[in-house]
């Protein structure tokens, strides 16, 4: 089963993403901010990371850079309401908020399928 780490400081968004990805058949672990997200990433193995970009402590750019520099080939999906102000170099895809749930799951399936 594909294991996904979801990092978002907004509880309702984090929970919604967790529910829809779990219902789509993924094993989902969540983190409430960048600091917890980095800790969970370093302590476990994941096939894909979904992270909000604007967060306290460590933002999504820092998380994506850390994952890239770890040497692990793990896709990173960034979600943001400010897509025009994002360094895209460490993300596999950027998804703009608000997003349609079906399109979001489709993007995740595409990226997760490419990982296999």
Express each pLDDT in 68-94 by its tens digit. Answer: 999 999 999 999 877 656 666 889 999
- Could you give the percent of the chain with pLDDT greater than 90? 78
Q: What is the pTM of this model?
A: 0.93
Tell me the CATH number at 106: 3.40.50.2300
Token pair for 100: 């349609």
Contacts of 26 (CB under 8 A, 6+ apart): 1, 2, 3, 4, 108, 112
Domain that holds residue 8: 3-115
Predicted pLDDT at 5: 98
Compute how many other C-beta atoms are within 10 angstroms of the C-beta atom of residue 87: 13
Q: Provide the domain count of the chain.
A: 1
C-alpha neighbours within 13 Å on the C-beta side of residue 39: 8
């Amino acid at each position: 089963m594909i294991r996904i780490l979801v990092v978002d400081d907004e509880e309702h968004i984090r929970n919604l993403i967790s529910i829809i990805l779990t219902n789509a058949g993924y094993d989902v672990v969540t983190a409430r901010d960048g600091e917890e997200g980095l800790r969970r990433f370093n302590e476990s193995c994941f096939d894909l990371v979904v992270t909000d970009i604007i967060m306290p402590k460590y933002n999504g750019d820092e998380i994506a850079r850390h994952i890239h520099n770890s040497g692990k080939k793990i896709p990173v999906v960034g979600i943001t309401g400010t897509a025009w102000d994002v360094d895209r170099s460490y993300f596999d895809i950027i998804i703009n908020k608000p997003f349609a749930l079906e399109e979001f799951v489709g993007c995740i399936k595409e990226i997760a399928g490419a990982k296999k």
